[in-house]
Structure 1
Amino acid sequence: MTDDSEALTRADADPAVDWDARAASFDDEPDHGLRDPLTRRAWAERLRTWLPGRPSDVLDLGCGTGSLALLAAEQGHRVTGVDSSPAMIDLARAKLAGRDAVFLLGDAAAPPVGEQRFDVVLVRHLLWALPDPGRALRHWRGLLRPSGRLVLVEGVWGTLTPVGIPAGTLTDLLAPLAEQVRVERLSEDAVLWGKEVEDERYAVVAVVA
């Protein structure tokens, strides 16, 4: 990863970043916008293995412009997306117009979904930046139906000043919450990122009781 992209990753984690101002260019990153057909297909194939085979209710937290939400909807799932940026939410609603999807403005750590429960909580590149990841995981676990699953895409980004959450740390946090925890390494799949990467990137699928 170059110094520039490392700086971008660090900015992404900063709660002071003006996400509304960055929304228009957010999808320019290959793994954000999924505009390249090969990258889009790669994420769709991964998502298909992480989500249930039957139509399910998916809660996409920190949904951004809705790229993963769109893939999930295309695979027959009902999606609720949550993001703190009104501009991101507007783009996600436009991207999924006509789909079985709802987008809510709110805090991903404590999403405004009331008593609604889901089959999947899907989170990409968000958990590690929260002040208390363990607390967020416990809250998200409570939003799942029996046998639901947490699908968490995370990593440790950068080579000069790494930031993120190692897979081992995340699996330790999930151990008291889930019956099954599976880690899938993603660093070696350059198509997912639109480039070769040298840092740690992975997905965790955790199935609860």
Structure 2
Amino acid sequence: MSEPTRAITAYWDAAAAAFDDEPDHGLRQEHTRAAWARLLSSWLPAGPAGVLDVGCGTGSLSLLLAEAGHRVTGVDLAPRMVERAEAKLAAAGLTGRFLVGDAADPPTGQERFDVLLCRHLLWTLPDPGAALRAWVARLVPGGRLVLVEGRWREAGESGVPYVAGAESLPWHGGITAGELAAAVRPLVSGLRIEPLSGDAELWGGPVTDERYALIARI
């Protein structure tokens, strides 16, 4: 493991204990949880699907997916995040597969998925373009790429400064919907943008920055 990767792993491991304190991370409030469940239902196929949740964190979205009957594989670089995701699904009596690994290049071999879901991860990646190409390659023909992203007021997600050199990351601070659509469009057969900033229930309160979902077909 390289020194930058060790630093990033340590950052998110340290963030794991308090990660779910954020309303949109832990989904502890029923109205926030229900709002995300509705969105996922509108983005994913109606029947059971194989879903790859990259940068799954503590597994809150993975849990919603499993509750809806989907087959979930979660990937996260931080072992403590993965431990919490596994415990979350086990406590609910649900099954899911969780892997410790680089979400930008998921350790899933030749397996292909119906849906790849990613939330609030692209700003952390040293080569987001390569990650997008790797994610599309993990999807079956006709599969769906679902990216929940934004242009943040603050780049950090845990309330503490991110790793040294983060300001040089290509999409540090997030990316606008137009910029992300331009990056994804050559890789897919079609896409749409769904604005999310105006739905306070998703975030535990009103937000003033740009938040959206990009839903693409392969």
* TM-score after normalising by structure 2: 0.86
Contact preservation (8 Å) 2:148, 2:212: yes
Q: Pick one of 172, 194, 197 that aligns with 1:187.
A: 197
Q: 2:122 aligned with 1:112, yes or no?
A: no
What is the CA-CA distance between 1:149 and the residue it aligns to?
A: 0.7
Please give the residue correspondences for 1:1-209 in structure 2 after superposition, counting only pairs within 5 Å: 15=8, 18-97=11-90, 98-158=93-153, 163-208=173-218
What is the CA-CA distance between 1:153 and the residue it aligns to?
A: 0.3
Q: Distance in 2 between matches of 1:151 and 1:96?
A: 22
Q: Which amino acid aligns with 2:215?
A: V
Aligned to 2:8, the other structure's residue is in SS state coil
User: After the TM superposition, which parts of structure 1 deviate over 4 Å for at least 4 consecutive aligned residues?
Assistant: none
- Structure 1 runs not aligned, ≥5 long: 1-13
2:158 corresponds to: none
Kindly, what percent of the aligned residue pairs are identical? 60
Q: Which amino acid aligns with 2:23?
A: P
What is the CA-CA distance between 1:24 and the residue it aligns to?
A: 1.1
Contact preservation (8 Å) 2:9, 2:78: no
Matched residue pairs, number? 195
CA RMSD after TM alignment:
1.8
Aligned to 1:103, the other structure's residue is in SS state strand
- Structure 2 runs not aligned, ≥5 long: 1-6, 155-166
* TM-score after normalising by structure 1: 0.89
Q: Distance in 2 between matches of 1:24 and 1:16?
A: 14
